[in-house]
Structure 1
Amino acid sequence: MHIIKLDATDSTNSYLRILSTNAPLPDYTVVTAKHQTNGRGQRGTTWRSDSDKNLMCSVFKDVSFIKFRDNFYISIVTSLAIIKTLQQFLIPKLSIKWPNDIMSEDKKICGILIENIIKQHAFGGTIIGIGLNVNQIYFNNLPNATSMQYITGTPFNTDELLQSIVKNLKFYFDQLQNDQHIILKNTYESYLFRKNKPSTFRDQDNNLFTGYIQGISNSGSLRILLEDEIIAEYELKEIALLY
């Protein structure tokens, strides 16, 4: 693992993407930053974090072995690697809010942003951005956020956390490369936030409806049980879970 440590950057994902265009990168090249001036999240959101209190990093992984139709397995692998890491540090009540927010009980502790690199109509690599709330205690105007120290009362070493995350990424990517798709999907679904519980969703037209999360399709769409025993599938930008 090759680690590049920065005091500040606009976005570790952007920094790593520029590096990848200039020269081939070794697997598991990592960029970390104490502070991000323009951290990004899913759906075009920004990622806000107190300086030098959390783990903000991006990891490059060669995923040329993955077929386009299996691209959601990158999210599955990353989510499971974060879950396993947090379990090793005794963080309780963990779940995955589809597609890849990591929750402790009902609060977000980690966000993931995956940006794939396409070369000649195939995957060349992926850049996995991870924002893990570690030692930050106060979250202004973010009532649904939490951190490892907030939950346990104990400060954590971010370098130790990073080593564990990369080790677990290697473990699950090895499973993926060995065609363990069914095991990975089933494990991911077992951690789905609010699975089989009545939940409220908002669609693209701002309409609210209720349903029960059943799991995901092979392509990563969210499968929801609606009225009249109908199971509908939704892509990322088509729906938002409101709880």
Structure 2
Amino acid sequence: MDYLFDAPIQTEFDRASFYYKSCSSTNDMAQRYMFHSAEGTIFITEHQYKGRGQRGSSWASEAGKNLLFSFILYPEWLAIDAVFALNIITSLAIYKVLVAYLPKALAIKWPNDIYCLDQKLGGILIETNIGDKIKAAVVGIGLNVNQLHFESSKCTSLAIQKGTIFDSALLLNQIMDGLSSYYAQLQNGNHNLLWEKYSNILYRKIGWHAFETIYGSFEGHIVAVNRRGELVVAARNGNHYSYKPKEIVFV
């Protein structure tokens, strides 16, 4: 059962917010209100019983410990082939807030994860409604904030890393403030600057690392993400290769 309570949260979008004690997923809730809510409307929950990530993966989170929310955008002005820009500005907004706490450890793992060193701190799931243009987008964010125990050693939280409890509502407001700013920059055509900022904070940007593709394994380092949202990797032989999300694995 979904439980809905009023909990207005101020952001630069100056839009409504909905709070759920428990729900299937905040993206599901946002989908229900798509085209019936103002841009920037936020959906927040303490617990998701059908949380999901990219490419059909699940998202497990201890109830009441983390930051789980989605919001609606109507970027009809954005070209369809530039839809990955929504991922970029969302990543930048999260990074801008969290890097203050983890200045030497934080990175964005393409295409949708927030990493602290080699552990997952959070994830992004963007679902779009596209016809002859991008009609709407639901942006879902899950951040491990105050959870102290995980089934996988590949996950971590802000509380684990800093040894203190965080104010999730404050983090949400800060992220949405940053998102509002980056969204305006995108709308004003500052694509090159946004892509450059994003490329500079990518996980495995520095040094040589192992990757696996359908064509075999190799060592390389990440160069950038192109305008189609493909990962560009430089191999040791000097060649650059581009990959879609399902075509390459970080080993």
**TM-score over 0.5 (shorter chain):** yes
CA offset digits 1:191-212 (Å, max 9, x no partner): 011114211112246x322222
TM-score normalised according to structure 2 size: 0.90
Match of 2:29 in 1: 15
**Structure 1 residue 51 displacement after superposition:** 0.4
Match of 2:114 in 1: 102
Q: Matched residues in 1 for 2:32 and 2:72: separation?
A: 12
Which of 45, 53, 58 does residue 46 from structure 1 map onto?
58
Q: Matched residues in 1 for 2:191 and 2:220: separation?
A: 27
Q: CA RMSD in A?
A: 1.3
**Structure 1 residue 227 displacement after superposition:** 4.0
Which of 41, 49, 54 does residue 29 from structure 1 map onto?
41
Percent identity of paired positions between Structure 1 and Structure 2: 35
Q: Name the SS of the counterpart of 1:137 in structure 2.
A: coil
Which of 225, 228, 249 does residue 240 from structure 1 map onto?
249
Indicate conservation of the 8 Å contact 1:196/1:214, yes or no: no
Q: Matched residues in 2 for 1:85 and 1:62: separation?
A: 24
1:94-243 alignment to 2 at 5 Å?
94-118=106-130, 120-140=131-151, 142-204=152-214, 207-242=216-251
Give the counterpart letter for 2:82 in structure 1: D
CA offset digits 1:69-116 (Å, max 9, x no partner): 11110010000000011134x233211111121112221111000001
TM-score normalised according to structure 1 size: 0.93
Give the counterpart letter for 2:122 in structure 1: C
CA offset digits 1:115-155 (Å, max 9, x no partner): 0112x411111111100000001111x11111111111111
Give the counterpart letter for 2:44 in structure 1: T
Q: Matched residues in 2 for 1:159 and 1:199: separation?
A: 36
Pick the structure with more helix per residue.
1
**Structure 1 residue 10 displacement after superposition:** 0.8
Instruction: Report the number of matched residues.
Output: 236
Indicate conservation of the 8 Å contact 2:54/2:112, yes or no: no
Q: Matched residues in 2 for 1:24 and 1:32: separation?
A: 17
Indicate conservation of the 8 Å contact 2:110/2:231, yes or no: yes
Q: Name the SS of the counterpart of 1:170 in structure 2.
A: helix
Q: Name the SS of the counterpart of 2:183 in structure 1.
A: helix
Match of 2:19 in 1: 5
Match of 2:76 in 1: 64
